[in-house]
Amino acid sequence: MQKALEQLKKIDAEITALEGAQAVLEWDQQVYMPERGVHARSEQTAGLAAIVHQKNTDPVIGDLLDKLGVSDENPLGSADLEDDDRRLVREIHRDFQRATRLPADLVSKIARVTSIAQSVWAEARRKSQFSLFQPHLEEIVKLSLEVAERLGYEAHPYDALVDQYEPEMTTAEIARVFRELREALVPLVRDIAAARQIDNSVLLKAFPVDRQEAFSRATLEALQFDMSRGRLDRSVHPFTTSLGPDDVRLTTRYDEHFFPTALFGTIHEAGHGLYELGFSRRFRGTRLASGASLGIHESMSRFWENVVGRSRAFWHHFYPVMKAEFPDQLSGVDLESFYRAINRVEPSLIRVEADEVTYSLHIILRFELERMLIGGELRVADLPHAWREQSQDLLGIVPDSDANGVLQDIHWSGGAIGYFPTYALGNVYGLQFTSRMRTDIPAMDNLLRQGDLVPVKAWLDEHIHSVGRSRTPGELCEEVTGEPMSAQPFIDYLTRKYTDIYDL
């Protein structure tokens, strides 16, 4: 059994290394690749995807799992294995079962189609013409349906797609949680709209991009993001990717006349990066050195961006630093005015720039559209119109263009249907974790006022980061908080915070 385990770990390490190479190609395409390089890159990504798929579906893996006592009924394998090894074989078994249901030609086709689609999406977004992207998205939806059918599902084909990003989550469970959020957030947004609006004109002044970039890098240092193990670049759509255990790439984008775009975008991506850099060293070279799910990943980025980065306590220390960097722009603006400005609530068109109250409504919009697309209730050609209707219903505003509506996100062009719900689930997980953290660190706000983020990061390293993929999202939530996933802590947090800010 020990020999079987060693052989399985060797295969896992090879797959992990190849996935790092895939990440290099994908990162380069979004950051540095010249525009006309897309077709050659699509062949490269498709070829590498085929190799990785072949590795993942090697019958030897199934034989080794059998020798280790792993089965659908007993995914953790033999009780004689160490706990970490049982967690590893469970994840290998899960991935093997999924991979063997998808033929290599389908995997290669998806890689090729999405590589080209991402380039077309960027052009369509620049020109604000959904018609350019429509045939590519139609092909992606068709391929996604084929994936769902091959993977299998019990209630809805969307279940199979969501499960790729949020293990063991179902469409019905997402709908339940999102219904609770919608019922709480829509009235809160309405109450805020009826209150006196906050002046955020200070954020609309001219902030030179080079100084924004310098401040973003200084912020990463304050958040303890190790730049010797990572870097910060620019991209059309901010993202984080891990090329290896000591190579985590962050990207952001800058708007000279709206500083929060880069400021909070960088803090958000730093949360993802800190998670990637915090996996236990004993998991290095294995698939356990990855996030438990995208929802858990998003809980870390939303925690740093909003719970910390938009708090009074954080800016009590960092606002004087920022004023020193931008003395002209922030002249005469006190801490309380700045704090309220960065927490202004106003329905907006762009998800990545949405305030934390309306943000989840953007995700509910996308979830409803995806569910209808995959369920056959909505045609791709009708997507722009459906988007405008949902935006009016949830946010009270209608996009003025495709670029500010249906084309604003990169995810569909990459084939990531089923991904969007994890963003709002991240809000939910994050506030459950925060509630437990405040119990363990009762002086948390005082520490933030002093600019001491070390205890906060250490808590996350111990309870969330280091655990990696050794726990499912449900297991991690139960172990850390003692309860299953619940939207109530997030709802309570928003209600308290914005009742105070808007004097509701």
Task: Give the residue carrying structure tokens 């996935």.
Answer: 19
Distance CA 46, CA 41 (A): 8
For residue 111, the Cα-to-chain-centroid distance in whole angstroms is 20
Distance CA 421, CA 39 (A): 31
Helix (H) or strand (E) holding 247: strand 247-252
Distance CA 144, CA 142 (A): 5
Yes or no: say if 284 and 245 are a contact pair by the CB < 8 Å rule. yes
- Measured between alpha carbons, how far apart are the two ends of the chain, in Å? 64
| Alpha helix segments (H runs only) across 69-167 | 83-99, 104-127, 130-151, 157-162
In 3-state terms, the chain is what percent helix, strand and coil (to 5)? 65, 5, 30
Q: What radius of gyration do the chain's Cα atoms show? A: 23
| Active-site annotation holder among 91, 166, 269, 298 | 269
Per the annotation, the verdict on 221 as an active-site residue is no
What values do phi and psi take at 347, rounded to 5?
-50, 135
Yes or no: say if 441 and 456 are a contact pair by the CB < 8 Å rule. yes
The three-class DSSP label of residue 243 is strand
Task: Give the residue carrying structure tokens 């958040």.
Answer: 223
Distance CA 3, CA 9 (A): 10
Distance CA 504, CA 195 (A): 7
DSSP assigned state of 233: E
Distance CA 429, CA 232 (A): 26
Per-residue buried b or exposed e for 207-230, using 16+ beta carbons within 10 Å of the residue's own CB: beeeebbebbeebbebbebeeeeb
∠ CA 69-75-76 to the nearest 5 degrees?
A: 75
For residue 287, the Cα-to-chain-centroid distance in whole angstroms is 18
Return the number of other C-beta atoms located less than 10 Å from residue 68's C-beta.
25
DSSP class per residue in 35-50: GGGHHHHHHHHHHHHH
Return the number of other C-beta atoms located less than 10 Å from residue 22's C-beta.
18
Distance CA 90, CA 75 (A): 5
Yes or no: say if 412 and 419 are a contact pair by the CB < 8 Å rule. no
Number of Cα atoms under 13 Å in the Cβ half of residue 92: 35
Residues carrying an active site annotation:
269
